[in-house]
Amino acid sequence: MVTPGPETIALWTRLMTSSRVLLERVEGALKAAGLPPLSWYDALLELEKAEEGGLRPFALQERLLLPQYGTSRLVDRLVGVGLVERRPCAEDGRGQELAITAEGRAMRARMWPVYAGELVATVEAALPAEEAKRAAEALDALIRAAR
C-alpha cells in the first residue's frame, strides 16, 4: 500500500491550515468593514479585467474554478444588488454576457484596501519576497500535478 512520506504529510497539513487561516483573516476583515465576501471580489475583478465585452458565465466559471451552478447563483446575488448586469448574448442565443456596473467597480475599489492590508500584514510579515517567490513556484507545481 502506498504511504506518503513525512514531507508530503507536512506539506499537505500546512497547505490546508494556512489556506484556511489566511482566508479566515481576509474574510473576517471584510466582514468587520461591512463588506461582502471574497468570492464577490474575485468575480468583480474578473469582470472588470474583461472590460467592454464583459464575460460569458462559462468563462467566469473557468476563471473562478466554480461549478456551473455555483457561478449561476453567485451572479444571481451580484445582479440582485446591482453590482453586475446580465445581457443577452449576440453570437450565441443560449448564453449571456455579464458586465460589471459602476456600483460594482466602486464596491471592488472599496474592498481592495482591506484585502490588500491583510495580505501585507500576513504574507509580507511572514516571508521575504525571495522566499515567497520560491514557495509560490512549489505550489504552482502542485497545481499542475493535480489537474
**What is the rounded CA–CA span in Å between residue 123 and residue 114?**
14
Residue 65 sits at the vertex; the CA angle it makes with 146 and 54, to the nearest 5 degrees, is: 140
- The answer to whether the beta carbons of residues 100 and 44 sit under 8 Å apart is yes
Looking at the Cβ atoms of 6 and 88, the one nearer to a second copy is 6
DSSP lists the bridge partners of residue 55 as 98
Task: Indicate whether 95 belongs to the interface with DNA (CB under 7 A).
Answer: yes
Report if residue 20 touches a second copy, rule: CB under 8 A.
yes
Backbone angles phi, psi at 47, to 5 degrees: -70, -30
Binding partner selected for residue 76 from a second copy, DNA, none, CB under the kind-specific 5 to 8 Å limit = DNA
Q: Does 123 bind a second copy (CB under 8 A)?
A: yes
The single residue among 26, 50, 71, 100 that binds DNA, judged by CB under 7 A, is 71
Footprint of DNA (CB under 7 A): 31, 39, 56-59, 61, 67-77, 86, 89, 92-96
